[in-house]
A and B are shown apart, each in its own frame.
Chain A
Amino acid sequence: MTGADVLLLALGTVAVGAGLLVVTTRHLVRAGLHLVVCLGAVAGMYLVLTAELVAWVQVLIYVGAVVVLLLFAVMLTRAPIGASDDLDRPGWPAVLVGGGAGLGLSALLVDAFRWTRVELPAAGTAERLGEQVFRSWVLPFEVLSVLLLAALVGAVVLARPEIGRRAGPEREGRR
């Protein structure tokens, strides 16, 4: 095992362990904090896999923005101090599907890549990735910017408080 293998194994263990805590913990806020650990470990794996730009984008967008948004939503909906008992549904189908997907995919990938060894390629710096994005992938990039704008407008429209109120008078008018 090389140094990269050891690093990947350690970071992967951290990521899977934190992910397990995210889906099993009974504290809402702690689930978000475990998610930070999990996403940070995945960002470390990206760094070991020479994907520099993706790692920093992961830290910026996921750990910086998405988790903060999720924690905001936890606080805005219901933020009990301590454990809550009503977070889970009875879990046999979930165990079957989740365990089946995880272990089945693991078996498949282990079977395919068990003895494979590769040399790490040149690092995916911002310069190289930028060349690719703005040469080969310009059209998806632009479509994605339109999608982001649409999602932004949609979120603003959905979050307006008048939507729930408007239902009242309309319903009275129909009767």
Chain B
Amino acid sequence: MRPVIPYVTAALLFGLGAYGVLRRRNAVLVLMAVELMLNAVNLILVTADTTVRAQLPHAGQVFALFVIVLAAAEVGVGLAIVLQLYRLRADVAVDEVPLTDEPVPALVGAETGAGRAGGTGAVPEPDAPEGDR
């Protein structure tokens, strides 16, 4: 078995993932590209496990398992953040997130919620003109 084949595959996959992270605007597609990079790392670990004789047997495969678990945790939290962003902005373009503005409820459900909150406080809402800004 020539280990150069999976090694080069992993390197190309990592390059594709880096390209996707920098190129894509949609946050979900950015997460997909991150998954590509994590898979490239896993492939390197598993190939190195068959190539290199380590002191502990199968250490590379155990590390690959750990990385898979980390990727699952990362994608869970990442998608929660993306959904929250979509709920606040009605958009998931990562290069158009204004980090300095205050969030504006953009969806219908969020707007009714803001209306209820404003109604209990008996204060007219200043949210709508800010949404146009």
Contacts and interface: CB of A to CB of B under 8 A. Distances in A.
Contact of B6 (A8, A110, A144): A8
Interface residues of B, number: 86
Interface residues of A, number: 100
Contact of A70 (B28, B58, B65): B28
Contacts of A101: 11, 14-15, 18
Given A77-B82, A169-B121, A102 B12 contact: yes
Contact of B103 (A23, A61, A164): A164
Interface in A65-96: 65-66, 69-70, 72-74, 76-78, 86-89, 91, 93-95
Contacts of A106: 8, 11-12, 15
30 contacts: A16-B9, A22-B32, A23-B20, A28-B26, A42-B42, A42-B43, A45-B43, A51-B46, A57-B65, A70-B32, A70-B35, A73-B79, A77-B86, A78-B92, A97-B18, A101-B11, A102-B13, A121-B49, A128-B58, A129-B61, A144-B70, A151-B73, A151-B77, A159-B83, A161-B109, A165-B110, A169-B118, A169-B121, A172-B126, A175-B126
Interface of A: 1-2, 4-5, 8-9, 12, 15-16, 19-20, 22-23, 28, 31-32, 35, 38-39, 42, 45-46, 49-51, 53-54, 57-58, 61-62, 65-66, 69-70, 72-74, 76-78, 86-89, 91, 93-95, 97-103, 105-106, 108-110, 113-114, 116-121, 124, 128-129, 132-133, 136-137, 140-141, 144, 147-148, 151-152, 154-156, 158-159, 161-169, 171-172, 175
